[in-house]
Amino acid sequence: MIEVIYILWLRQLKHYWRSKSRLLGSLGQPLLFMITFGFGFGPMYSRASGGANYMDFLAPGIVSMAILFTAIFSGLEVIWDRQFGFLKETLVAPISRTEIMLGKTLGGATIAMIQGLIVLSLTYLLGFRIPSLFSLGLGLIFMALIAIFFTGLGLAIASKMKDMHGFQLIMNFLIMPIFFLSGALFPLENLPPAIYFISRIDPLTYGVDGLRGAIAGMSTFGIYNDLAIIGVLATLVCAIGAVLFSKLEA
Amino acid sequence: MQNILSVKSLTKKFDDFTAVKDISFDVETGSIFAFLGPNGAGKSTTIKMLTTVLKPTSGEISINGFNVLKEQDKARASFGIVFQDHSLDEELTAYENMVYHAVVYKVPKKERAERIQKALEIVGLWDRREDYVKKYSGGMKRRLEIARALVHYPKILFLDEPTVGLDPQTRNSIWTHIKKLNEERKMTIFLTTHYMEEAESIADQIAIIDHGKIIESGTVEEIRKRTETESLEEAFLKLTGRDLRDENNETGNKMRTIRGMGRRNRH
């Protein structure tokens, strides 16, 4: 059981490590957001909040963003496996579908964590500081839960997709709204009711809020509430993914 | 056990199209069984059901004494399969593909290295084991897939058009390997092919399927005699007619509609 999960995990890490262009490419977007938004909105945020530093607010959001996109992509990779035929090799093997789901979730989540950590260390260069080791530890837990949730979500979606044609649809109508309405870039205050509602059912909202609470000391809902919500959601999405995988036909 | 594979009243329906209609057959342990039919006749659908990739609508399959639907993992451990389309991870090396297979098939750790080496030597790829699969030619990929299917010592090996698109040298070498496996390891071989001369020279038993039904089965001799023809190819054409067939895209099986509608050629 452990070894099967390990080999699935290892395969994904090898893919990640060997594709340097993807590794670098996926750092481009968070960096761009961090620099343009950080310096662009920084003065405005500062004035509106009465002197607070926007980078402290933004850094956890950008880290979450890096994790969100990497995790979703890793999950959706199963579609490539299907198209290149490799999925069949895994599906005819005498292993349980839960093992497949777990191996793939852990693999994708690990990659997303690595990307998140790279971005987190880059925020250091832009002046972001984490107050204590305890904050860092708590932050890592949030990062891991965000990574697991969105990899699981990517896998669950991928199990229902035959090819990459629906990819734009998912990006523009699911992932982008999840990102923009999560409070990663701006505070979720004084919003119109509809936007307010969506932001409150956005799973990433609680991930970002928790991470921000942990490493920047700013939280709307309270760190432990965030932890409970994102923890339950991550477990739930993995369970749903396992059910969907059990019905998977190559 | 006399029959390694036993199929009873197997049926597969996709919406309103029946791809496989109530077929039954047995494959004797240690034999080479060729499953022939024109494109779209139901061959691949049948193989997919036999190998647990697709769930049958009704019917029973037993492999190595295990019920394929109820004892899925035991049945899965009993067979090896080389799919019609490639199923290797091209971003990994040949050796890594073999290790992946050995682990997911739970080959004991101590035996892994030795079994992998043996299998790669059989198909002549041991020296190229560290190469990425994406650098392999079509024939090498096929040989690697055959080697991979041998690592967990399957009792029966399914080969779905293993020689399609390969040059005569590679085809010849692949059949030689397969024959050797059958003779030396008493491994049962279940194959499909469009090359009738290949089936004729290698198979002990043949079944011909068309429009989802088995229309003829027996040895080459028996089939030739019954159809009063000189070769398997003639017999095949006589039985299945000379009309050209369309086959819908493999992965789009579920979208398959009534024959003739939504025609799509195979890529």
Site of tokens 């936007």: A195
Nearest chain A Cα distance for residue B234, angstroms: 34
What is residue B164's predicted lDDT score, i.e. its pLDDT? 86
Best residue in B103, B109, B136, B160 to probe A by mutation, most A CBs within 10 Å? Answer: B103
Q: What's phi and psi for B159, nearest 5 deg?
A: -125, 110
For A219-242, how does the pLDDT look when each residue is reduced to its tens digit (9 = 90+)? 999 999 999 999 999 999 999 999
pLDDT-based confidence at B72, cuts 50/70/90?
very high
Instruction: Name every residue in A having a CB less than 8 A away from some CB of B.
Output: 3-4, 6-8, 11, 14-15, 18-19, 82, 84-86, 88-96, 162, 249-250
For residue range B123-144, list pLDDT tens digits in order: 899 999 999 999 999 999 999 9
Q: Hey, is the C-beta of B105 within 8 angstroms of any chain A C-beta?
A: yes
ipTM of the complex: 0.90
B90, A7: Cβ pair inside 8 Å?
no
- A-proximal residues of B, 72-101, CB under 8 Å: 72-74, 76-77, 81, 83, 85-92, 96, 99-101
Rounded CA gap, B99 and B75, in Å? 21
* B90 vs A8, A19, A84: nearest CB: A84
pLDDT tens profile A72-123: 999 888 999 998 899 999 999 999 999 999 999 999 999 999 999 999 999 9
Cβ distance of B104 and A82 shorter than 8 Å: no
- Domain B3-245 has what CATH class? alpha beta
Contacts of A19 in chain B (CB under 8 A): 91
B255 has a pLDDT exceeding 50: no
- Beta carbons of B99 and A82 less than 8 Å apart: no
What is the rounded radius of gyration, in angstroms, for the C-alpha atoms of chain B?
18
- Output the pLDDT for position A30: 92
Cross-strand pairs, B13: B18
Provide CB contacts within 8 A for A21, sequence distance 6+: none
Tell whether B249 is within 8 A of chain A (Cβ).
no
Query: What pairing do the DSSP bridges indicate for beta strands B156-160 and B3-14?
Result: unpaired
Q: What is the mean pLDDT of residues A2-21?
A: 94
Bridge partners for B26 per DSSP: B6
Q: How far apart are CA B229 and CA B223, in angstroms?
A: 8
User: Which of helix, strand or coil describes residue B132?
Assistant: strand
- Tokens encoding A88: 């069949």
Nearest to A54 by CA among A67, A65, A39, A66: A39
Q: Do A19 and B101 touch (CB under 8 A)?
A: no
The more confident residue out of B33 and B122 is B33
Across the range B109-136, mean pLDDT stands at 95
- What pLDDT does B247 receive? 60
CA distance B77 to chain A (A): 6
- With b meaning 16 or more CB within 10 Å and e meaning fewer, what string describes A163-201? eeeeeeebeeeebeebbbbbbbbbebeebeeeeeebbee
Check A88 against B53: CB less than 8 A apart: yes
Residue B79 has a CB neighbour count (10 Å cut-off) of: 26
Percentage of residues in chain B with pLDDT exceeding 90?
73
Distance to chain A for B237, nearest Cα, Å: 32
What are the backbone dihedrals phi and psi of residue A133, each rounded to the nearest 5 degrees, phi first? -65, -35
pTM: 0.88
The answer to whether the Cβ–Cβ distance between B87 and A89 falls below 8 Å is yes
The reply to whether residue B87 touches residue A85, judged by beta carbons under 8 angstroms, is yes
Domain ranges (residues) in chain B: 3-245
3-state secondary structure string, chain A?
CHHHHHHHHHHHHHHHHHCHHHHHHHHHHHHHHHHHHHHHHHHHHHHHHCCCCHHHHHHHHHHHHHHHHHHHHHHHHHHHHHHCCHHHHHHCCCCCHHHHHHHHHHHHHHHHHHHHHHHHHHHHHCCCCCCCHHHHHHHHHHHHHHHHHHHHHHHHHHCCCCCHHHHHHHHHHHHHHHHHCCCCCCCCCCCCHHHHHHHHHCHHHHHHHHHHHHHHCCCCCCHHHHHHHHHHHHHHHHHHHHHHHHCCCC
Using a CB-CB cut-off of 8 Å, the residues of chain A touching B81 are 92
- Which tokens sit at A86? 């490799």
Considering only alpha carbons, which residue of chain B is nearest residue A18?
A: B91
Shortest CA distance from B97: residue in chain A: A11
Domain segments of chain A: what residues?
2-246
Question: Is there a contact between A14 and B86 if contact means CB atoms under 8 Å apart?
Answer: no
In this predicted structure, the answer to whether residue B261 has a pLDDT above a threshold of 90 is no
**Of residues A249 and B66, more confidently modeled:** B66
* CB-based contact B91 A95, cutoff 8 Å: no
Query: Which residues in chain B are contacts of A92 at CB distance < 8 A?
Result: 51-53, 76, 81
Q: pLDDT digit string (tens) for B11-38?
A: 999 988 999 999 999 999 999 999 999 9
Q: Given pLDDT bands bounded at 50, 70 and 90, which one contains residue B264?
A: very low
Taking CA–CA distances from B99, the nearest residue in chain A reads A7
Confidence of residue B263 (pLDDT cuts 50, 70, 90): very low
* Span A187-196, average pLDDT: 91
The confidence score (pLDDT) of residue A9 equals 97
Residue B238 scores a pLDDT above 50: yes
- Give the residue-averaged pLDDT of B186-215: 93
Q: What is the pLDDT of residue B169?
A: 87
* Contact between A94 and B86 using a beta-carbon 8 Å cutoff: no
Per-residue confidence (pLDDT) for residue B1, from 0 to 100: 52
Q: What average pLDDT score do residues B114-131 get?
A: 94
8 Å CB contact between B229 and B38:
no
Q: How many A×B Cβ pairs under 8 Å?
A: 73
Residue B77 pLDDT level (bands cut at 50, 70, 90): very high
- Backbone torsion region of residue B124, taken as left when φ is above 0, otherwise alpha when ψ lies between -120 and 50, otherwise beta: left
